[in-house]
Amino acid sequence: MAIIGYARVSTTHQKLDTQLSAFDNYGVDYVYKEYDSGRKKNRPVLEEMLKHLTSGDTLVILKLDRLARGTQHLLKLLDFFETNDINFVSIDNHIDTSTPMGKLVFTIMGAFAEMEASLIRERVVAGIEVARQNGVQLGRPTKTDNIERALYLYEHTDQEISQIADECEITPPTLYRHLAKRSMALRR
């Protein structure tokens, strides 16, 4: 049951002194130090630390922004800690998941993040619906020239659908869909 610290600064020109001092005062056994932007997805020291944490360990950070890229990333990490029975402490944010109050704060954070994700989903769906109503075609742009050529080949040659689709760089289902739109009879 180790007490592990994770300290991060965005560049090698910045110092970890404030974080390390807080960890000394807290009684941290070992500190993982990362010198990289928090916005990057690939943070090797963070990944290494997560692999070494075990049940009963406590992870200590100075501030939430030292650990996670954003709310969703933080919640994934907190879920990982809870699932693996790892306590989490953010010194400056006064969060300690080993206490009832810390667990409450954690639960509230999770609820807010879930609500945020739901609101984003609702806005995206509403935006897509408005775009559709305004005649905006969603998805990949159609290859009009390719489709016209494919329809011409279908009408004027004996080539198979798959051959025409390959030659015109479209998929067979696309060709079938356009044949149906134009009420063109399918060959047997």
Q: Where in the chain are the domains?
A: 3-112, 144-181
Q: What is the pLDDT of residue 185?
A: 81
Q: Are residues 50 and 83 in contact, defined by beta-carbon separation less than 8 angstroms?
A: no
pLDDT above 90 for 187 = no
CATH architecture of 3-112: 3-Layer(aba) Sandwich (3.40)
Question: Catalytic annotation on 90?
Answer: no
Contacts 24+ apart (CB under 8 A), 35-44: 35/8, 35/9, 35/10, 35/11, 36/8, 36/10, 37/10, 38/8, 38/10, 38/65, 38/66, 38/67, 38/68, 38/69, 39/69, 40/69, 41/69, 43/8
pLDDT tens, residue by residue, 83-120: 999 999 999 888 899 999 888 887 787 777 778 778 88
- Indicate which residue of 10, 98, 118, 183 is catalytic: 10
User: What average pLDDT does the structure give for the chain?
Assistant: 87
Q: What is the pLDDT of residue 32?
A: 94
